[in-house]
Structure 1
Amino acid sequence: MREIKKITLDEFDKSLELSQYAFQYSLSEESKQKRRESFHLHDVWGEFEGDTLTSKLHLYPLSVFIGKAEVKMGGVAGVATWPEYRRGGSVARLIDHALKTMKEKGQVLSFLHPFDIEYYRRFGWELCFSHKKYTIEKSDLQFMPGVPGTIKRLSVQKDLEIINTIYEQFAQNYNGMLKRDRNWWENHVYSEGYQFAVFFNEDLRPTGYLFYKVSDKLLDVQEFFYLNGESRRGLWNFICQHDSMVEKVKIIVPENEQLHYLLKNPKVKIDVEPYFMARIVDVVGFLQQYTFNKVDERLLLHVKDDKADWNNQSLVIENGEVVVGNAEEEGITLTIKELTAIILQAQTAQFLYEADMIKGTVKKVQLLDQMIPKRSASIIDFF
């Protein structure tokens, strides 16, 4: 008999055994103990046949910034099934259960890092986040015009308030960046060997930081966050100070970053890689928290969601407010995937209309784009 239930600490070893098999890694006893101690910080749901764990799904209770607003988000991770139980619908049942659980908890959004994008599109998630990765040769480490200010190396253990303040101010320029607490900083962001270099302007105010490591002639920058052009130039010049130590620099940045345009040789290697997917879990709950641009006209959205029937709604957006509307009225028809991409600004309504992925008149599609604040989608974290 099948049963979906929350995995308890007593069943931790069963869950970890499945993870190690499915994702092909092996942990030391010290690492296992560390995971055991943090097991209570998120939920792990499993499908069982009798006492046998057949599949599992981890659900992290997180929050993300949508601009300056904080929104509850359920982070889906660690989805795994033993090979002998695959293709039996077990994961689909777990995802269905997870959607209902997230709605009950007020987690109106959900993010995940997919092993297969098309697979999760079947369940209503859509690709909304990509990374831009720069690979810069030593010869292109040329200084920008100097800026007054200093660089100090700080510690996440001792100086978290300073680092987190910069992070949050930067994150609020985007849709999707995680709200980080101390546990997240220390156990999900910080990695051994990496350090924080913080830029202080001439007034001694911290306005940017790098999270980086130098090893084997490579400067690896995992986070490059700044609050203005001055701090961006200051951090870049600090990178250039490593020209006698490294052969290459690799930098991960949000997809809309234009650092290369500022370089003396903009023709550096740039890779854009699909990263995370997103899904609106509760369309009414989310849109009522969302801040639309106010326009003079009203717009009706007919939302379709074949995995979460509570999202099958006709909704009116008027004067920045969202209310239930008339299903017979003319409007824009779209699935929860397209709506998620548009609202997070991963894609414009105009693009999806031209791709024949949403239905409506050109005027109404343009109106929807006018209602959405122009703020790029980005997430840097991993779970």
Structure 2
Amino acid sequence: MSDTIYAPVGAEHMAQFAAGDAFAFGIESVDVDRWLATLPQNVARGVFAGGRLTSQMVLQPYTLTDGRASHLFGAIGAVSCPPELRRRGYVEQMLRGACDEMRERGMALAMLHPFKVSFYGRFGWATCMDRAVYRCAPEDLLPFQRRQSGQFTIEDERSIPQLDAIYAQALRGRFGPMVRDAQWWRSEILTTWDGKPRRIAIWRDEQGQGRAYTIYRMEKKPDSTTRMVCREMVALDPVARANLFAFLSQHDSQCEQVEFRAPVDAPVNLLMPNPLRCEVEQHFMLRLVDVEQALASYRFPSAARGTLTLAVADDWLAFNQGVYQIEVADGAAQVRRLPADAPAQISCDVRALAQIYARYLRPSAAAAFGIITASSRDALAVADTLFAGLAPFSFDFF
């Protein structure tokens, strides 16, 4: 593959890029063109062989919060390769080129939504969050009508600052929520993939303060029934949450089913007279592109104190492989790379470390299942304390 190169996709190849996406994801060309028109310039990437585009993706710099600090990360999407060129290593070369680029640009983290977990797992990505998907009839939520207060108003994009304030406060403390700008709200949250508007409802308490919102759309199912799909449903307190459920129940004449998503550690069904149907879906995968930088920029719990040595194996990005000492105080860490033969308290591969980093996997649970090894229970206790927090979550998709 000496004649191949990872590079930005220029204007002369964008028609091929669009056609490749339309074919790979079964999307109408007009919808692909609309999506590409919303993208910033110079985010399309590919591997070229003899001048031919052999694999392609989009790489965009976004910001996420770990619950206590913000991190620039590389958002990878629309990865595809024509069937006639698959299994030749083009996608792997493209992902490696993207990791090199991200590291040079100061992005220690990379996230994507996989078509197949095991495919990206080969290259060091690991599932870093799940989402609980609830489905019910609107009538199942009727008991919440007895607890109504305040009022709902139907809003438009002028309410983005209010929505963003509620969103940020409701998801504080979690790893994964994106830091959004107004353009992201307009193009990704308030409208659908094919440009259709979603409905915005904000609940305000009796003092007029916005405390909850839902953004939703009615969708026809193949069996001709209608489903109310909540793109987001966010509340700041129990009263606000009860009013959201009451609002959903008011749509009983318009739909047969309501669907919404929540963090897996949110005890939604404990609020219900009868449990709602709930499925857990895997969401993003995380890659630590630069382990040392990722650990150094991580914000640990403010009360956490301790020193931990980690032996990290990375069979794909060899520069990450090594032993790291983390000294944590006041939420910040000093990270030092130790000699390769230095003793380590925790030994893991980069995939398990990504899951611990995202607080998707508790170190003590990982050790109990043989995913990592620990020199002592004391070391595990320190690791559990350093990487403690709420379950990761994100409403977003890219």
Tell me, yes or no, whether TM beats 0.5. yes
Which of 23, 28, 49 pairs up with 1:21?
23
SS of alignment partner, residue 142 of structure 1? helix
Instruction: Describe the superposition over 1:290-347 as per-residue Cα deviations: whole angstroms up to 9, x where unpaired.
Output: 1223445421111121222232232222233232143413311111111111111111
Q: Tell whether 2:371 aligns with 1:371.
A: no
Distance 1:141 1:150 in 2: 18
Cα distance in 1 for partners of 2:141, 2:174 equals 28
Provide closer, same or farther for how the CA distance between residues 338 and 168 of structure 1 changes in structure 2, counting only shifts above 3 A: same
Give the alignment of 1:54-65 within 5 angstroms: 54-65=54-65
Partner of 2:149: 148
Partner letter of residue 344 of structure 1? A
Does the residue aligned with 1:285 lie in a helix, a strand or coil?
helix
The 8 Å contact of residues 254 and 380 in structure 1, kept in 2 or not, is answered as no
Superposition CA RMSD, Å: 1.8
Q: What secondary structure does 2:323 align onto?
A: strand
| Matches of 2:148 and 2:139, distance apart in 1 | 22
The equivalent of 1:286 in structure 2 is: 294
Give how far 1:26 is off.
Answer: 2.1
2:369 to 352, 355, 380: 355
Q: How far did 1:171 drift? A: 2.8
Distance 1:118 1:36 in 2: 28
Aligned to 1:330: 344
1:307 paired with 2:319, answer no
Gaps of 5+ in 2: 220-224
Structure 1 segments, 4+ long, off by >4 Å, are none
Aligned to 1:199: 203
Secondary structure of the 2:53 match is strand
Residues in 2 aligned to 1:138 and 1:164: alpha-carbon distance in whole angstroms: 27
In structure 1, distance between residues paired with 2:354 and 2:41: 27
Find the aligned partners of 1:363 and 1:173 in 2 and give their Cα distance. 25
Which amino acid in 2 is paired with 1:109?
L
> By how many angstroms is 1:74 displaced?
0.4
Percent identity reads 25
Deviation, 1:47, is: 1.3
Give the stretch that moved more between structures: 118-127 or 135-144: 135-144
C-alpha distance in 2 between matches for 1:41 and 1:143: 50
Identify which range, 144-153 or 198-207, moves more after superposition: 144-153
Equivalence for 2:277? 269
TM-score of the superposed pair, with normalisation by structure 1: 0.93
Contact 1:218 1:248 in 2 (8 A): yes
Q: Structure 1 residues 91-100 or 279-288, which shifts more? A: 279-288
- Segments of 5+ residues of structure 1 without an aligned counterpart are none
Q: How does 1:1-383 map to 2 (within 5 A)?
A: 1-28=3-30, 31=31, 33-41=33-41, 43-144=43-144, 145-156=146-157, 158-189=158-189, 190-191=191-192, 192-215=196-219, 216-266=225-275, 268-293=276-301, 294-320=303-329, 321-327=333-339, 328-360=342-374, 361-383=376-398
